[in-house]
Amino acid sequence: MNRVLIADDSPIIRKSITKSVEQFSETMVVSGAVANGQKAIEWLQSNFADICITDVRMPVINGLELIKYINEHCPWMINIVISSYDDFEYAKLAIQLQALDYILKPIDEQQFISCLQKAVEKQAQVRHRDSTQLLIEKLPYFRQWIDRWIEQVQTINMETMPLLIVETVEVFEKWVGNDNHLLNSLSNVWLRTLIEELFKTNSDVILDEGDDLGIGDKTLSLDKVRGYFRLCAVRRLEEGAFLLMGAMKNCRNDQTSRCVVQIKAYIEEHFAKKISLQELAAVVDMSKNYMCSVFRQETGMTILNYIVAVRMKMARSLLLNTSLKNYEIANQIGYDNTEYFTELFKKYYSMSPMEFKKRMDKR
């Protein structure tokens, strides 16, 4: 939501600009419309705005003085100058004050709409730039938070995601300080960083900018700014988390199936050796926790239990087809301790290896 402040001493012009602004986009609203720069400054001392559209010549305080005030006290705002005077000096001063554009009255509708579009785009670009720079500055610290998000998304853990979102927004608030207007763009940069981490270069995930329709009032008082932008960030992260988990779920079927096949093949080839979870994680290029979660979801059993199952099936085969003793079978399937092997076999087949062999031999 882009909130606009209009300053013009003509009531007709204020109404006309208000109508044009609100017809331009449902995400752009006129929060305040005042008659001069003094009233605009008083309004800004109690309310928040993203964009100021101001006339140049107004009583009490003119538009250029208003822009100077905004640049000093509300530097996040974008200024557009409108004037009836085709005066190069005014245009030059407006440009020196970094006004986005200088439009002459009578206002050309298409030119004005184009200017509004440019203002929205510039605001998004500046906030994206500032948010990206902020993340770069916090790089040593935010790694642990990115890793927490990656694990939550990869395991599609919706239960604890709301708490993680709240905790993440609290961290963002510390990072932005008083620049609460950066919270939503910071959330977008955060989510794009996650997409790159999760999907690398093979991502079809499309992340839009999101909106805050229905969250805040048309006029946002300064005492509600932090709460409003915090709520925007929470909504954005919720939307993003849902999108990422959906994308992860869609692409996980093929990926996890291949992962499980790789794990099973590796275990079946190396079951006689000691196999660590870290070793398996390196084989499939996944984190240990994620690999274990994927395997369990796909097979209904843990990796360690699968290793035992493979070894027990091999032990059964050796009992039926060879005359090897228990300790020899134990050694061949990866156990140094014969008693431990016997205990596992009994737990698995409900009888000891010798009982199993005798029973099978009678058939």
> What is the C-alpha to C-alpha distance for residues 275 and 215, in angstroms, rounded to an integer?
53
- Domain residues for the domain of 355 are 305-361
> What is the C-alpha to C-alpha distance for residues 224 and 276, in angstroms, rounded to an integer?
53
- For residue 17, being part of any structural domain is answered with yes
- For residue 283, being part of any structural domain is answered with no
Q: pTM for the complete prediction? A: 0.69
> What is the C-alpha to C-alpha distance for residues 199 and 116, in angstroms, rounded to an integer?
35
Q: Are residues 8 and 27 in the same domain?
A: yes
Q: Which two tokens stand for residue 66?
A: 């208003």
Q: Are residues 13 and 65 in the same domain?
A: yes
What type of residue sits at position 74?
A: C
Q: Are residues 110 and 133 in the same domain?
A: no
How many domains does the chain contain in total? 3
* Whether the Cβ atoms of residue 45 and residue 17 lie closer than 8 Å to each other: no
Q: Are residues 131 and 232 in the same domain?
A: yes
| Final residue before a domain boundary, out of 121, 149, 168 | 121
- For residue 296, being part of any structural domain is answered with no
- The tokens 């079927």 sit on which residue? 253
- For residue 261, being part of any structural domain is answered with no
Burial class, 336, CB count within 10 angstroms (exposed 0-12 / middle 13-18 / buried 19+): exposed
> What is the C-alpha to C-alpha distance for residues 136 and 123, in angstroms, rounded to an integer?
20
**What would the DSSP string read from start to end of 132-200?**
HHHHHHTHHHHHHHHHHHHHHHHTT--SSHHHHHHHHHHHHHHHHTT-GGGHHHHHHHHHHHHHHHHHT
Q: Are residues 234 and 194 in the same domain?
A: yes
Q: Are residues 64 and 159 in the same domain?
A: no
| Final residue before a domain boundary, out of 100, 121, 142 | 121
Q: What is the pLDDT along the chain (363 residues), one digit of tens a residue?
A: 899 999 999 999 999 999 999 888 778 999 999 999 999 999 999 999 999 999 988 999 999 999 999 999 999 999 999 987 766 677 788 888 999 988 888 888 899 999 999 999 999 999 999 999 999 988 777 788 888 998 888 888 888 888 999 999 999 999 999 999 999 999 999 999 888 888 765 555 666 666 555 567 889 999 999 999 998 999 899 889 888 888 877 766 666 778 888 999 999 999 999 899 999 999 988 888 888 988 888 888 899 999 998 999 899 888 888 888 899 999 999 999 999 999 999 888 888 888 888 877 654
CATH number, domain with residue 54: 3.40.50.2300
